[in-house]
Chains A and B, each alone.
Chain A
Amino acid sequence: MKAPGAFSPDNVVVGHSARMRAIFDFVKVVSKSDSSVIITGESGTGKEVIANLLHHSSSRRHQPFVAVSCALFSENLIETELFGHERGAFTGAIKDKPGRFEMAQGGTLFLDDIDDVPLSMQVKLLRAIQNRTVERVGGTRSINVNVRVITGSKRDLKKMVAEGNFREDLYYRLNVLPITLPPLRERREDIPVLTDFFFKRFARERGIETPDVSSAVRYAFSRYRWPGNVRELENACERIVQTCTCGTVRTGCLSASVLFGAGDPVAAPSTTELTAGEPTAVSLEDRLREVESNLISWALKVSDGNKSRAAELLSIKRSTLGDRITRCGLQEAHHAQAPAADASEDEPIAAIA
């Protein structure tokens, strides 16, 4: 459970990307409602941040926000965790214990990793959410619970329903207001603003000046695939702030995975072979963005950062190139190489009130 006060909506970075702005606008709209929200996104994309934000923007904000990961508990434990138990319900149950539903009374319950809940437990969950009542393990009394349920999933529940691993009825009960968080590699334009935010925060926590960041590091960050998404970026920044000895973040500060991952001509994991074997999902958007980013980097490099020349090489308009550089998050990286270039920097929306 989150300690109260640990979350502040002011610490939420929105970024430039149209997708994230759309998500935050949607959050503002649905925070007023009491309907179930399901947040889908890869690990580290910020599901709990969004859940927190929903809670803190809602009328329930003065009531508890209880977050629990359903992946943490075994099949038997999860029931007592969520619904609580009565004294004597099982060996070791020496006193009554309220479950997470009861603890979230009046507030919001965030059930993360809902895709890890076993089928047998899904029935009980459905009943609880539908009837707004819970029964403690070993108890007979129904307890009314007034909670808003937000769920988080790293997998596509619809697909799990089709495969028979998730109950359809529960899926429809949960999937009233869906929010899908994009992986960081699909919103690379947000990497610079997130990077700056994290460096600033960790430097403040350590009591040092916010370090300068070299353009090569920015370039590496913009190229790396970030499989762990924003959480990985956050941890990378934390590690760098803790270990930097000279006040400027340079490539020597980068972990090998970032350094090697960013140095690869085409980021390695995306070169999944397209064979006739087992079909795996690929993101066309993601692939195209990488090709685009690689070609633009190449053109800027061979034209010594001269954008007009680079645009010529790519057979596109100079203005189009500017837009695409911003979209690919390459802007910062090429500043150093193109000091005279007139890259207009948008003021980032750093946080939302």
Chain B
Amino acid sequence: MVSREQIESVLGRIRPMMQADGGDIELVDVLGNSAHVRLTGMCAGCPSAHMTLYMGVEMALREEIKDFAELVVV
């Protein structure tokens, strides 16, 4: 089972940078081994930002959390 803290600790690494631009990546829910996140701020509506964050953050989560399954951007 993946814990909220584990996911937050990974998100926390990029959060200050995103917040500096008035955005954020919010952890909405942890379901089993998957995390649901929401982008807020200026980049929230940008499909490119969704794509890059989606791929990059998921990869980072998989690298650092052994059982991590999937990242869902809601």
Contacts and interface: CB of A to CB of B under 8 A. Distances in A.
Interface of A: 214-217, 219-220, 243-246, 248, 250-257, 259-260, 262-264
Given A257-B56, A259-B56, A260-B60, A252 B17 contact: no
A220 B52 contact: no
Interface residues of B, number: 25
Contacts of A263: 13-17
A256 B23 contact: no
B16 A252 contact: no
18 contacts: A214-B21, A215-B20, A216-B18, A219-B17, A243-B51, A243-B52, A244-B46, A245-B46, A245-B47, A246-B46, A248-B42, A250-B43, A251-B23, A252-B18, A252-B39, A252-B41, A257-B56, A263-B14
Contacts of B48: 243-245, 252-253
B55 interface: yes
Interface of B: 13-18, 20-21, 23, 39, 41-43, 46-49, 51-53, 55-57, 59-60
A255 B56 contact: yes
Given A245-B46, A246-B46, A256 B52 contact: yes
B39 A216 contact: no
A252 B21 contact: yes
B21 A251 contact: yes
Given A250-B23, A263-B13, A256 B56 contact: yes
Contacts of A214: 20-21
A253 B34 CA distance: 24
Given A245-B47, A248-B42, A251-B23, 11 more contacts: A220-B17, A243-B52, A250-B49, A252-B23, A252-B39, A252-B49, A253-B49, A255-B52, A256-B55, A262-B17, A264-B13
Nearest to B63: A260
Contact of A256 (B16, B42, B43, B57): B57
Contacts of B17: 216, 219-220, 251, 254, 259, 262-263
Nearest to B59: A256
B60 A256 contact: yes
A90 to B, nearest CB: 47
Q: Which 7 A-B pairs have the closest CB atoms?
A: A256-B56, A252-B43, A252-B49, A243-B48, A216-B20, A216-B21, A250-B21
Contacts of B55: 256
